[in-house]
Amino acid sequence: MAHITMLANTIGPRVSGTAGEKAAAEYISAQLKASGYTVELMPFTFEGDRFRAGSVTGAGAPLQVSTMTGSPGGVVSGALMYVGIGDAEGIGGRSLTGKIAVADRGTLTFREKYDNLAAAGAVAIIVVNNQPGSLSGTIGQQVDRPMVGAADTAGLALRAAAVAGTQVTLDVPVGTSTTGVNVIARATPGEKCTVLVGGHYDSVPSTGGANDNASGAAHVIELARVLAADGLDRGLCFATFGGEESGLFGSKALVTRLKGESALPRIYLNLDVTGIGSSVEVLGDAALQREALGVAQALGIPAAGAALPRNTGSDHQSFSDASVPVVYLSSGDFPTIHSPKDVVADIEPDELQRVGDLGYALIVQLLRDVA
């Protein structure tokens, strides 16, 4: 709980490439070093970051927006015009030439909104979230006019400014390169990882991400500490990844590097969203899923097999794509993730204990399996 509180409250949002991510990486590194591990901070660079921060000025207080993947950068000025969801009815036959369109999220894809509004002449598009929190997204291909997402809390002011025809300036960063960092812990410098235990520590911009995924990162830190209590286990490594929320970029970078070194692990164990629930959800390869459920049953820990909801992902996919067997422990309670409601007060210590106990026993068993 102390680790979760530090990451989610004291440090707060931990978006890749930001000061929050750097502070979190330094904190995690210090914890792992204190447990006796050799720790590496591994920087990586990626393109197409969906959390590139832009700004809207001229309609009250400056507003931060998120640049959608596929959007160009640049500075655009124009009068705001509200267009509903961005369909024909919302446009209402009006010309949007020279206007910055304000559209509500929903019904149409971002690409469909873009096509409709660009065809009507809009020079830029702001999509307002219809759910709590900030909005990021992917247009689906490179386009030639800026398109950004705004938090639900900005909707009232933007719509009012659009009704008034307020002139604003939209400033979208040019370039898509972002640098994040992974934190990797080994028993000895350069040691090959046989069993790798990991989870991401970054969050989306609108939240400190207590459940997603300060909880999983805290489990990685604590499992590393507990497993080091009787001496470091050779071949057992731990990692926390940046860039997961931006597109699994941190885990992809590590997999690419390890593959090039012919040093992929034999097994990868993932911990993501592990703080709220009444049992442990076990995902991953069938054989490892069965093994984890068997360990849970032997310990009397409530657990069940599960699968990720559609259009969601986690870092185990990067390893699975490289043919590394994976198993993934989660608590399965997702309602508040990616929103300001993902707070420390909702984290359940009993669920942390269940996931941690199963994670510990499973790692011990996996080390025996690969010995």
**What's residue 122's pLDDT?**
97
| Domain assignments of the chain as residue spans, ordered by start | 2-47+177-370, 53-172
**What's residue 309's pLDDT?**
65
Architecture of domain 2-47+177-370: 3-Layer(aba) Sandwich (3.40)
Decide: 82 and 122 in contact? Cβ < 8 Å: no
DSSP state of 345: G
Indicate the residue type of 320. Answer: S
| CA end-to-end span of the chain | 33
Bridging pattern class, strands 267-271 and 303-305: unpaired
What topology is assigned to 53-172 in CATH? Glucose Oxidase; domain 1 (3.50.30)
Decide: 189 and 235 in contact? Cβ < 8 Å: no
pTM for the whole structure: 0.79
Q: What residues contact residue 370 under an 8 Å CB cut-off, 6+ apart?
A: 194, 195, 235, 266, 267
What are the CA-CA distances from residue 324 to residues 106, 273, 319 (Å)? 37, 21, 5
Decide: 136 and 110 in contact? Cβ < 8 Å: no
Q: How far apart are CA 228 and CA 222, in angstroms?
A: 10
DSSP letter for each residue of 134-195: ----B-SS--SS-EEEE-GGGHHHHHHHHHTT-EEEEEE-S---EEEEEEEEESSTTPPPSE
Helix (H, G, I), strand (E, B) or coil at 80: strand
Q: What residues contact residue 246 under an 8 Å CB cut-off, 6+ apart?
A: 15, 16, 46, 49, 50, 51, 178, 180, 202
Q: How far apart are CA 212 and CA 271, in angstroms?
A: 10
| Burial category of 307 from C-beta neighbours within 10 Å (exposed 0-12, middle 13-18, buried 19 and up) | exposed
Per-residue confidence of the chain (371 residues) as pLDDT tens digits?
Answer: 999 999 999 999 998 888 899 999 999 999 999 999 999 999 999 886 777 778 899 887 788 788 888 888 899 999 999 999 999 999 999 999 999 999 999 999 999 999 999 999 999 999 999 987 778 888 878 899 999 999 888 888 899 999 999 999 999 888 768 899 999 999 999 999 999 999 999 998 878 999 999 999 999 999 999 999 999 999 999 999 999 998 899 999 999 999 999 999 999 999 999 999 999 999 999 999 999 999 999 999 999 998 876 656 799 999 999 999 999 999 987 788 888 889 999 999 999 999 999 999 999 999 999 98
**What's residue 182's pLDDT?**
98
Q: How far apart are CA 129 and CA 151, in angstroms?
A: 5
**What's residue 367's pLDDT?**
97
Nearest to 206 by CA among 112, 129, 319: 129
